[in-house]
A and B are shown apart, each in its own frame.
Chain A
Amino acid sequence: MSAQEKKPKERVGVYICHCGTNIAGVVNVAEVSKWAGENLVNQGVVVSRDYKFMCSSLGQELIQKDIKEQKLTRVVVAACSPHLHEKTFRNACKGAGLNPYLCELVSIREQDSWVHTDKVAATEKAKAIVAGGVSRVVYHEPLIPLKVPIHPATLVVGGGITGIQAALEIADAGFPVYLVEREPSIGGHMAQFDKTFPTLDCSACILTPKMVDVGNHANITMLTYSEVQKVEGYVGNFAVTIKKRARYVKTADCTGCGICWEKCPKKVIDDHFEAGLGYRKAVYTPFPQAVPKYPVIDDINCTYFQKGTCKACEKFCPTNAIDFTQKDEIITVEVGNIILATGWDLFDARRVTNYGYGRLANVFTNMEFERMSNSAGPTGGNIVLRDGKTTPRSVGIVHCVGSRDKNYNNYCSAICCMQSLKFAHLVHEKTGATVYNFYIDIRTPAKAYDEFYQRIIEEGTLFVRGKVAEVTDAARNPGEEGKLIIQVEDTLVGKQRRIPLDMVILSAGLEPRADSKALAKIFGISCSVDGWFIERHPKLDPVATMTEGVYIAGCAQGPKDIPASVAQGAAAAARILGKIQQKEIALEPVRATIHEEHCSGCRICNTMCPFNAILFHEDKMVSEVNPALCQGCGTCVTACPAGAITGTGFSNEQILSQIDGLLLLTLDKKKEAVA
């Protein structure tokens, strides 16, 4: 079908942006502008201009002046990606009294000048792109954004320092928060750490007051030992299904006295909070300052659940708070916005087989060391070898384990340098041992971080610049017998070194949560190749996502330290508070609609919609799009075998005419020739 046949009479203005030299350096913008003014007259072009920065106030005013004086009914701007300035030019049109959706932004930067070097060809391509935009814009219809109310409550997923910060910011502002945490207590990884760099404050001492605040806050509903199962709805109006796992403890009656875990006969290796270095009972709180204070019974390890007898905890509980009959509970909460602060997993150091973790007893991970160094940890804060008693006299700390390595993870885990320096200090302070740091590059780019590095050098830590090749116990000479040997090239000397040590600590990197991809699907957001959640814009919108109403913060977005995590938690909270204050939100009117008479009821679109926006009417046997849920992605439009679905702004006429334009089938001269 030819889109040219019923060409409406519109008055189109074309504006070509130089973007400094970003576009003009490759595309001859004056030529494109002149060409459009001369060759697209029959398409309705009445004015065509180029300007240095179309997005500047002066550029926008230029368009507005034309709209008024030339009585433009359509505007095409050829500049950067719509991701960046679509809003700018729509607002400019709106300011001049033109419906903002009658403006089309075509990209001659990302899709042309930035990816080509041949100036002549790039200029020709720009002409085609402009012609496509002009052909398309005449089929645009004036649209009016939908307004929906915003529920004042917020869901925060993840009770680590990031989630805690976000929850407190919103709750303090007077709005309700549901804080969901998978573990029995909030606190996250920060609760496991001993000291925090660069000031060496005790991690628990600065974290626990915030945990207590969360626990006592009237506006915060804590849902610990719980996980989000399903999210329905859309920005302003989400319905979230949450599974509360059975604690087997009645929280209304429990006083957190601790008699149950004292009496529990079942000892379990705590491979979570104690990183496998210590034990807990089958009924437990992960650590003394846990919030909430109520324990949980781990039914996989509990003797009663496994063998049917024991119930020691029940017998001794002074308030009869134990309840073996509790079942998992499914609840639904309504919220307007969501923050994902789900944090990170530790890289499994066993994967680097040449470092021997899991095979060589005295190779430890960073998390094991944190627990060992923590006075509340399994060794009471003593740094000892795996035998539980010997103090090491020489310790090697290995940077970049699993990070900056194409065999494992490409990225820098951001915290390992500072963490390793901190370890050097702690080992030195607590044992007086000789400490080596093996590094590729020392990265200390935040406030007071390099000063900390200086301090560690001054304390006498020995630095070897080289990525450790292997950790082995295969001694080559009597001096190496019974030791771990780190073999490395000292790259600043240019020689191989073998350094015998008592203990090796691996600074394993940060990884996305193992289930991050599944989580992203539940919340309708996307993950990078590595598995970190993707932000709306890496610089200018780091806590929003492409899904309205869903925000990300902390390490779920990428590796970062505590200050940066806290900042992101607060930033996400601020963004949401701004939305809540507005009470309602305007939704993009780009939506799909189903033409009932063409719908065969095949339901293909129902399952394909990533936003669950399509419902099926059993009575009429047709599908319908919920305009509030639809994000205008177009998946259903292309999937519909009957062609019954149209995307507003992406109608067949619009798409086909744009293609005609791109192929230069709509040029005045061509038309004349055909005629």
Chain B
Amino acid sequence: MNEKVIVNDPPSAGPVVHEDLSLLHDVSLLTPGDSHIEMCIQCGTCGGSCPSGSAMNHTPRAIFAMLRAGMRDEVMKSNTPWMCVSCYYCTVRCPQDIHITDVMYTLKNMSLKSKMVQDSTASDFSRTFIHYVENYGRSFEIGLAGIHSVTHLRLAARLPSMAPMALGMLTKKGMSPLPPKHIKGMKDLKKILKRAKELEAS
């Protein structure tokens, strides 16, 4: 398993180019509820709490500073939000009540739309997961793990060690290797999601 943290913007002490001062406002607007993101005092509680911080190329705190500095491209390219495990430690510990986990979701949405995501492993996983949900109404754990692994070379290396697990899923857990049955209201669900996507774009 040779995972590397992909550092896509090597540190440089040069000046920030193209400061985009609407960036912070955009993030705030796209996050449901009041995220309080403008209240950050750069204390580092989030970065200190993060269980997957070691895989991030910037700590969440640094991302908030970059949002303020209008470093749109650097933030959109960062893997930070994609490494978020949604544990909410940062959110409950933040002394400024910033909804950090929600902001991470917003940044994922934005970076996908900006097409600047550097490593699509995480976003592809989300897409595959949602592919089943959008078509069956239910998720499909086995199919998801399988497809995701074989389509990502970086992860394919672990297939040998995964095989017993996959088999265990079938034998011990009695999981079905077949995709789930459609929910009855699939037609309506598709309509709802279609409408939601239109609303999202508007």
Contact = CB atoms under 8 A, between A and B. Distances in A.
A114 to B, nearest CB: 23
Contacts of B41: 404, 440
Interface string A465-489: 1111110000000000000000111
Given A491-B42, A491-B61, A496 B48 contact: yes
Contacts of A489: 44-48, 53, 59, 61
B47 to A, nearest CB: 3
Interface string A399-416: 010001111000000000
A487 B97 CA distance: 20
**Chain A contact patch, size range:** 20 to 34
A624 B138 CA distance: 75
Contact of A467 (B48, B62, B92): B48
Main secondary structure of the interface of B (DSSP, over half): helix
A467 B95 contact: yes
A270 interface: no
Contacts of B49: 469-470, 487
Interface string B31-45: 000000000011111
B96 interface: yes
A494 interface: yes
A492 B47 CA distance: 12
B33 to A, nearest CB: 15
**Chain B contact patch, size range:** 20 to 34
* Residue in A467, A470, A488, A490 with the greatest tally of chain B CB atoms within 10 Å: A467
B62 A494 contact: yes
B8 to A, nearest CB: 15
Contacts of A468: 48
Contacts of A467: 43-45, 48, 95
Contact of B59 (A400, A405, A487, A495): A495
Contact of B93 (A354, A494, A496): A354
B54 to A, nearest CB: 7
A495 B93 CA distance: 18
Contacts of B96: 406
A496 B43 contact: no
Contacts of A405: 95
Contacts of B47: 466, 469, 489, 491, 494-496
Interface string A532-548: 00000000000000000
A405 B59 CA distance: 20
B77 interface: no
Interface string B44-72: 11111110011000110110000000000
* Residue in B44, B53, B59 with the greatest tally of chain A CB atoms within 10 Å: B44
Nearest to A441: B41
A491 B95 contact: no
A487 B53 CA distance: 12
Contacts of A487: 48-49
A487 B48 CA distance: 6
Contacts of B95: 400, 404-407, 467
* Residue in B48, B49, B58 with the greatest tally of chain A CB atoms within 10 Å: B48
B54 A496 contact: yes
A488 B50 CA distance: 10
A559 B45 CA distance: 24
Contacts of B62: 494
Contacts of B97: 406-407
A495 B59 CA distance: 7
A580 B49 CA distance: 58
Contacts of B92: 407
Interface in A494-523: 494-496
Interface in A404-450: 404-407, 440
B48 A488 contact: yes
A494 to B, nearest CB: 5
Interface in B67-90: 89
A470 B49 CA distance: 7
B44 A470 contact: no
B45 A469 contact: yes
B93 A490 contact: no
Nearest to A352: B93
Nearest to B43: A467
A404 B42 CA distance: 13
Interface string B88-114: 010011011100000000000000000
Contact of A491 (B44, B54, B89, B93): B44
A232 B51 CA distance: 59
Interface in B171-195: none
Given A466-B48, A469-B48, A488-B48, A440 B58 contact: no
A297 B61 CA distance: 54
A490 B62 CA distance: 11
* Residue in B46, B49, B62 with the greatest tally of chain A CB atoms within 10 Å: B49
A646 B54 CA distance: 71
Contacts of A488: 44, 48
A405 B41 CA distance: 11
Contacts of B54: 496
**A-B CB proximity, top 10 nearest:** A469-B48, A489-B47, A489-B44, A405-B95, A466-B44, A467-B43, A491-B44, A469-B49, A489-B48, A488-B48
Interface of A: 354, 400, 404-407, 440, 465-470, 487-491, 494-496
26 contacts: A405-B95, A406-B95, A407-B92, A407-B97, A466-B43, A467-B44, A467-B48, A467-B95, A469-B48, A470-B49, A488-B44, A488-B48, A489-B48, A489-B53, A489-B59, A490-B44, A491-B43, A491-B44, A491-B47, A494-B58, A494-B59, A494-B61, A494-B62, A496-B47, A496-B48, A496-B54
